[in-house]
Structure 1
Amino acid sequence: MSKMSKNKAVFKNYDKEQLAASSLSLKNLSKSFRGTPAVQDLWLEIGAGEIVSLLGPSGCGKSTTLQLIAGILRPDAGQIDLGHRSLNQVPPEKRNIALILQKGLLFPHLSVGENVAFGLKMQGVNRLEREQRATAMLNRVQLSGFENRLPTELSGGQAQRVALARSLVIAPQVLLLDEPLSALDANLREEMQALILQLQADTQVTMVIVTHDQAEAVVMSHRIALMFEGRLRQVATPEEFYRCPTDETTARFFGGVNFFQVKTSAGWIKATIRPEQIQVFAAPQPPAKDLPNPSPNLLPMAVTANQFTGTQRRLTLKAATGPSLQAWVGPSNTFSIGQSVWAHLPPAALWRFPNSENLSGAAMVGYGVIQPLS
């Protein structure tokens, strides 16, 4: 049997009408606990078959938002729609939404096969079909032959695979994942990320992931919804978060470390540039042959730190006056502490605040007018 045929045998086939019904809308959603806001005026449209990560620091309202979608919590205000259907008065078990938590929460007294088939049993599916679908789904999550094991006999990664199989076998319209991989080691986390993405591609289930890990959100998401203090700060693709953050807080959360004021022909502006976009060349001669002609934003600096991370070197650069800059270069570069270098800040890589306009072609007036942000 071909891979496509196997997938059709395991997964529910969604037609266009069913896919449209799987879009998720959060409108003016708010929730407080004892007068303290947890989610405030949240608006978010999630398309059918889309993967969106709710990203942010601890306590920003990510998990609360997920529980509102699942029906575990009821909103104080606002509307939750699945397709054209309002969920506000629909109990959790009637929403056709599956939720996976960090620890999976398998039933300890049931076998792996019985855990996976549990939702089907609640739907009234007959025993033979339950067993067939559970076995097929376990094969899809690479746990063939585990049907008779107990949860206590599973590793953490295996338990999460069972939880994933249990959630997907019922063909939910939306799959919610609350920090599902945070307890796994790095290698296993990458394996599970790849598995989840493959299963999502097979099922086209709409997926909402809660995470505080920027790297995980970037790898897993079509779009990221960044939250701070219960509010959405920015909703964008992973690439857009790196190229054009809406504000300094957002840029810092995604690893931005270079913030300064520069003077252009339009006056003073606040700007940022990512460390990997700065080009570093050995001094004393400017590397004119390697740069556009003319070469704007070429700054004389000295290396004050050189940290090897395995895949790159992270340099700290300092000038006699002006701010320090962080630059990430290839691992084979051998700049020494105290070495004089030229740092080139390509105008096209500069991003300004607060109007989010690209500075391509707007060169700095000169190094003497670059100032660190307070």
Structure 2
Amino acid sequence: MKTYELVVPCHFGLEAVLKREIYDLGYEISRVEDGRVSFQGDAEAVCRANIFLRTAERVLIEVGRFRATTFEELFQGIKALPWEDYIPVNGKFWVKKASSIKSKLFSPSDIQSIAKKAMVERMKQHYDVEWFAEDGAPYPVRIFLLKDEVMVTLDTSGDSLHKRGYRTLTSKAPLTETLAASLLLLTPWRPDRILVDPFCGSGTFPIEAAMIAAGIAPGMNREFTAEQWTNLIDRKLWYECVKEAEEMIHTDVKVDIQGYDIDGDVIKAARENAKRAGVDHLIHFQQRPVAELHHPKKYGFIVTNPPYGERLEDKADLPKLYGEIGAAFRGLDSWSMYLITSYDEAERYIGRKADKNRKIYNGMLRTYFYQFMGPKPPRRSVRDTAGGDE
């Protein structure tokens, strides 16, 4: 089966999490760049990456790379690529997006226009036609320029992979599903440990945690552009990958995942989202302010996305709010806390310096992932674990 160089974008700063996911799927990493990871894979790998990767933004097939400092070099470079190997004569093809960083060619609209013309010229010669109906399957192209190196790709995903299909109702400042999954996978949380999000909003952290615990593949209930590419990917491969995903689900898993929010309407929306994701029975949602966060269990996790105070009128409330977060955390014996925020005085008002602090871009917003580590739970003896549930 033909193999491709598959390029998988992710949140900037979280490449290591995506690398681990790709390794766990059974593929070897060929390249790591800022905000993306590449690996070799066949048509089945395209399906599996789209369905199983929790932290990927989309899955791209690399058509080619070359240097270009002039529009003529860009035109000739695009024209030299074997488009006929990917796009049939009736395929609908266009440059969905062009981005340029530190390159002499920097106008996205000009890059898009010239690339399309070059593709048409190449395919006119190959198919011996003067005009394309473009009434077949869609083949969106994405082009990236970095320091005058051009990477040309086909987008197999369509809608970004953060659109799992469960979140139709969102709160004011939602965290994307892919970012929430990435941050959860950065922590040492495991499904046998309690997890609480005291600012759960539309429920993204608890829902992603429950999906991880239950083995629910993030992409199994949505569609992908490449499902229509029957010239490249046999449709039965998609069915086989979904079947593989279905066989990995264990929704009877025992977990303690909780989501709180001060807004009752938001909690209602979170419950609806969890129901659509098939994990509502695994999460306890409750209307509750962070000041009332307490729990008798030990060695739990807080993973949360508290308000940042992006609006000036909200900034004044942040010292009190982050003080309440700190007080609640101090009252939880042996717990760990992980929170993402752009508020630069978070540690001051929480009352403790984070053990680790990771800079992460949430869209265009620079945020910090503060990691306050609690002690590890004692190892269970063999006698404790053997037959404990009998």
| TM-score normalized with structure 1 length | 0.28
Structure having the larger proportion of residues in helix: 2
- TM-score scaled to structure 2, two decimals? 0.27
Task: Report which of the two has the higher share of strand.
Answer: 1
Query: Which structure is richer in relative contact order (CA contacts within 8 A, separation 6 or more)?
Result: 1
When Rg is computed on C-alpha atoms for both structures, the one with the higher figure is: 1
